[in-house]
Structure 1
Amino acid sequence: MPINAEYRGPGELPEVIPVFPLPGALLLPRGQMPLNIFEPRYLAMVDDALRDGHRLIGMIQPDVAHSPKEAKPVLFKIGCVGRITQLAESGDGRYILELTGVSRFKVVEELNVQTPYRQCKVDFFSFTGDFTARKGEDAVDRKALLEVLADFLEANKLKVDWEGIEAAPNEALVNALAMMSPYGAAEKQAMLEAPDLKTRAEILIAITEMDLAKKRTSGDPPVQ
């Protein structure tokens, strides 16, 4: 999806960004994530992102497995920053918005701030490849990806627009399937942290194959 701002490298992004911890949420560069914002602290976060002009929000998963129950959740070290590219007011106090992924980031430190939402100092320089669209997509095993997708759809009795899938470039296809996948936080984090598109596709294929094999042997209903 085209966006008005052109980010050509890590130096064009701020060192401090607001972060939105959301379990199971996976945003990837150039991917689109819809969000329904209703908590007052995150409404304030959106307002500030618009007011400051950068329109950026860092999506990151809380590491619930390693967080004390009485404290705010520890964050994973890697997230992805997105730019607000669509926003609508619902009329009942909510924002309906869409983020377009720009680049992954590494959390350097979480800051002590007065805002109701969390903010982190981050480093984008570990992910300079994220600023190049479609980088490495020729290495993706598209045939294997489509085969496991077909198996998943059949097992779950789902239908998709195959013409649209077949027309999609490898980067868009891999990242969209990863973002929409029904897997847990650990699996989503593994796909986020994959060093390249080829590895992300391989992780997605492996996770899906293991899930399908487990369902076949256990007799459990497929993932919905």
Structure 2
Amino acid sequence: MSQEGLPEQFSGMVRLFPLPNVVLFPHAIQPLHIFERRYIEMVEDALADDHLVALVLLKPGWEPHYWGKPAIYDVACIGRIRWHERLANGRFNLLLQGLCRFRIENEIAAATLYRQAHGWPMPDLELNVDETLKREILRQVSARLPQEHPLSETLQTMHELPMPLGVICDILAFALPLELRVKQHLLEAFDVAERAQALLRILCNLQKPELLPMPHEARPFPPQFSAN
């Protein structure tokens, strides 16, 4: 395996899974329910091969073109299927773990029902990383959490363990209720220092009394958001 968790002989080809309302980040785990025929085929092919799928956000205005090839952003996140179950109706429940950012160079003409693309993984660029950013980001998030918020335990772990700043930013960007365009902007920030500074600006721009909301009551698995 490479440093990004990809196969050593990774060809640069990915199976694209475009969604209108999910931005996956490295290190995060996203539950998904797969029910469209094209994406059932995608999961079948992934499970028979390297278990990799690239989740990519659809650009605004996707609705009229959803069943064709609506426009997507140039940066996706490659994920590995860590767990799956096939249902009696042929659909899948699965857990997709983000591995690395991926720059899409071009789409590939393929015979599959789902879209494919070629590009290259983008590892974190860790130059001029200021560790004080870590403390300030965690302080800003902690100040906005209601008591008993589930994220509090994660923050405590981030304080105590020598977790890289890039990983902290990715986990928080995925977990926090930020707008999709903001999440996509953070995903496109390969430079860790720039990513951390951008996240800190976002947090500081929140009104002081504004607390991060408690998550809704646990939803049944599969979640409702995976409209595919």
Q: Which category of TM-score, normalised to the shorter sequence, fits these structures?
A: 0.7 to 0.9
Query: What number of residue pairs does the alignment pair up?
Result: 204
Q: Secondary structure at the match of 1:98?
A: strand
Secondary structure at 1:174 match in 2 = helix
Q: What percent of counterpart residues are identical?
A: 26
Q: Which has the higher contact order (CA 8 A, sep 6+)?
A: 2
Query: Given the superposition, is the C-alpha separation of residues 172 and 8 from structure 1 closer, same or farther in structure 2, using an over 3 Å criterion?
Result: closer
Q: 1:62 aligns with which of 40, 58, 64?
A: 58
CA RMSD of aligned residues (A): 3.0
TM-score by length of 2: 0.75
Q: Which structure 2 residue ranges, 5 or more long, are not aligned?
A: 216-228
* Structure having the larger proportion of residues in helix: 1
2:175 corresponds to? 180
Cα distance in 2 for residues equivalent to 1:158 and 1:211: 20
Pair 94,139 (structure 1): closer, same or farther in 2 beyond 3 Å:
farther
Give the aligned partner of residue 149 of structure 2.
Answer: 159
Q: Answer whether contact 1:83 1:101 (CA < 8 A) is retained.
A: yes
* Match 2:130 to one of 120, 136, 139: 139
Q: Which amino acid aligns with 2:195?
A: R
Partner of 2:224 in structure 1?
Answer: none
Of 106, 110, 116, the residue aligned with 1:109 is: 106
Shift of 1:158: 6.2
Q: Secondary structure at the match of 1:117?
A: coil
1:1-224 aligned within 5 A: 6-8=1-3, 12-51=9-48, 53-65=49-61, 69-70=64-65, 72-124=69-121, 127-129=122-124, 139-140=130-131, 141-154=133-146, 159-160=149-150, 162-168=152-158, 169=163, 170-212=165-207
Q: Tell me the CA shift for residue 14 of structure 1.
A: 2.3
C-alpha displacement of 1:61: 0.7
| Distance of 2:148 and 2:17 partners within structure 1 | 31
**3-state DSSP class of the match of 1:69?**
helix
Q: Tell me, which stretches of 5 or more residues in structure 1 are unaligned? A: 1-5
TM-score, normalised with respect to structure 1: 0.76
- Give how far 1:81 is off: 0.8
- Kindly tell me: are residues 60 and 161 of structure 1, through their superposed partners in 2, closer, same or farther at Cα, counting changes over 3 Å? closer
Report what 1:3 is aligned to. Answer: none
